[in-house]
């Protein structure tokens, strides 16, 4: 299962907002700052999660996926990321990930390309970007689940798992 990249790390209610055209700019500012601070250990940074899909509403948390040169470089970024306001959380329950969070504003999911959820995150994002029907269905599902599981982010994320699995299966066939 591909968890929603921004949901599990932060307790509190599920609050969704309509798509904000400022999200790509926020991503760019975080990307540039992280690349400047952690450049020796990264090759590039991808924008993932719902804020990376034009037209899709989301929790207003920017999820990025820095590409580590090597998996072991993840902890080497800790001091530089801390200077940017990020807290290192280890793998935070996902294999081969180094997770950094900046309050309820930005999450960085560091992987070496091809490891952990690297391919699944990109496949899910790209499928939603390319298929408006899937994006719209996901947005409706998220709103319905947020109403049902407003106080439980874990239940909200888990309830999306069947949809996510279906989209990943379609993406693999495409």
Residue pLDDT, tens place only, 11-28: 678 999 999 999 999 999
Is 7 within a domain? no
- Residues 161, 9, 113, 62: is their CA dihedral positive or negative? positive
Total tally of structural domains belonging to the chain: 1
3-state helix, strand, coil in the chain (%, to 5): 50, 15, 35
Query: CB under 8 Å to 60, separation ≥6 — which residues?
Result: 15, 17, 20, 23, 51
In a domain? residue 10? no
Residue 13 within any structural domain of the chain:
no
Query: How confident is the model at residue 11, as a pLDDT?
Result: 62
Mean pLDDT, range 35-50, rounded to an integer: 98
Query: Is there a domain that residue 18 lies in?
Result: no
- What is the span of the domain harbouring residue 55? 23-173
Q: 153 falls in which pLDDT band (50, 70, 90)?
A: confident
Model pLDDT, residue 141: 98
- Per-residue pLDDT tens over the stretch 89-115: 999 999 999 999 998 899 999 999 999
Would you state the pLDDT for residue 23?
A: 98
Would you say 51 and 61 are in contact if contact means Cβ atoms under 8 Å apart? yes
Task: Give domain status of residue 65, yes or no.
Answer: yes
Residue given tokens 């921004």 in the structure block: 6
CATH number of the domain where residue 142 is located: 3.30.460.10
Q: Exposed, middle or buried by CB within 10 Å (0-12, 13-18, 19+), for 17?
A: exposed
User: Within a domain: residue 5?
Assistant: no
Whether the predicted pLDDT of 8 surpasses 70: no
- C-alpha 23/C-alpha 60 separation (Å) is 8
Looking at residue 115, what is its pLDDT? 96
């Amino acid at each position: 299962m591909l968890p929603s990249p921004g949901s599990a790390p932060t307790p509190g209610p599920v609050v969704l907002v309509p798509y904000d055209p400022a999200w790509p700019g926020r991503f760019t500012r975080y990307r540039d700052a992280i690349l400047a601070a952690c450049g020796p250990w990264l090759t590039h940074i991808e924008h993932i999660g719902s804020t990376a899909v034009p037209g899709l509403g989301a929790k207003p948390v920017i999820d990025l996926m820095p590409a580590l040169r090597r998996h072991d470089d993840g902890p080497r970024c800790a001091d530089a990321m801390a200077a940017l306001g990020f807290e290192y959380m280890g793998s935070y329950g996902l294999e081969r990930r180094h997770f950094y969070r900046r309050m309820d504003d930005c999450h960085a999911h560091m992987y070496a390309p091809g490891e952990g959820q690297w391919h699944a995150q990109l496949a899910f994002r790209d499928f939603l970007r390319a298929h408006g029907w899937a994006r719209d269905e996901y947005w409706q599902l998220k709103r319905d689940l947020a109403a049902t599981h407003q106080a439980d982010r874990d239940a909200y994320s888990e309830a999306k798992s069947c949809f996510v699995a279906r989209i990943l299966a379609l993406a693999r066939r495409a």
